[in-house]
Structure 1
Amino acid sequence: KSLAAKSIAKILKWPLIRFDVGALKGSLVGQSEANMREALKVIENCQCVTVFIDEIEKQFAGVKSSGQTDGGTTTGMFSRFLTFMQDTTAQIFVVATANDISQLPPEMLRAGRFDTTFCIMLPTLPERKEIIKIMNRKYSADVPESYAKKLQGFSGAEIELLIKESLYEGLGKAFESIIPLSRSMREQINNLNELAQRYRIANTQEVLPVQTRKIKRSCL
């Protein structure tokens, strides 16, 4: 997911700003909200930037119980951020990633908040071959692309780990030592697929190539 955000910034040829909500929180009353306003003002003044919010459901965790836990600080920061997304006219592209969108407040998912929402699923066979090719170049390895057939259910990070480990243990032992999350957390992965279907979120395999789509202002 993080790589997708970096790729968007590269396609747009805009600098990438990593937006860390937790780093804005202060110990004094009103400091967190003031930091949020200042950070958003800096972003707005930058113009032509890609703003990356990683694991947004954790960044704004506790919004629902904010009144009881932090005196409404998180709710205030969240409200300020939503207002910024709604009202800003600056050339800003907001990219947010989430592992579990069911944890997001409803206000974040309502129509018009994000222009596009899509689900990044496990790589297909052609994508696994391409990942092997890229990682072979990165680590000076020689894993055959045909090995991609054995890697069904492997994520990109797991394929990278496999290629790194193969340099020390050999490909066979490296393959046996890695248990992909799609196997160890099968139920959670299936729930993610069902959640994507429930919210009618497009799978990345169904999304048109970027060259044929008009770039919008934000995506989740």
Structure 2
Amino acid sequence: MLPSELLRRGRFDELFFVDLPSEEERREIIDLYANKYLKMKLSDNTMEEVVKVTDGFTGADIESSIRDIAYRLIANEELQLTDELLLTSLKNVVPLSQTSPKK
């Protein structure tokens, strides 16, 4: 929640609620960032698993999680990008919607 001082008239004229992405929106976000950061096109089966695992994730959660996987791959040249690595990494993420549900 924003402090009441920031919600005074004239500070913000409009307040917007942005919901978590739907399955289809998560699919598009995952596809975008898997391609951007991992240069990877997920198979249909893997995509469906990743979409399920990312339930409750914001778009930013998905981006930062995939970017973190890319950083790990760069830092450890012996690490191989596999579907298992992707899924395991995402399963270990606690999304913002669970750590700060009121925000």
TM-score interval, smaller chain = 0.5 to 0.7
Q: What's the offset of the Cα at 1:182?
A: 2.3
Largest Rg, 1 or 2: 1
Consecutive unaligned residues of structure 2, counting only runs of 5 or more, are: 74-78
Q: Describe the superposition over 1:61-117 as per-residue Cα deviations: whole angstroms up to 9, x where unpaired.
A: xxxxxxxxxxxxxxxxxxxxxxxxxxxxxxxxxxxxxxx22x1317x433x664422
- The number of equivalent residue pairs is 86
What secondary structure is seen at the aligned counterpart in 2 of 1:116? coil
Residue aligning to 2:63: 160
CA distance in 2, matches of 1:113, 1:162: 33
Picking from 77, 91, 102, the partner of 1:176 is: 91
Amino acid paired to 2:18: I
Residue aligning to 2:29: 131
Residue aligning to 1:120: 18
CA distance in 2, matches of 1:154, 1:131: 11
CA distance in 1, matches of 2:20, 2:60: 10
Consecutive unaligned residues of structure 1, counting only runs of 5 or more, are: 1-99, 193-220
1:150 aligns with 2:48: no
Tell me the TM-score normalised to structure 1 length.
0.33
Higher strand share: 1
Residue aligning to 1:211: none
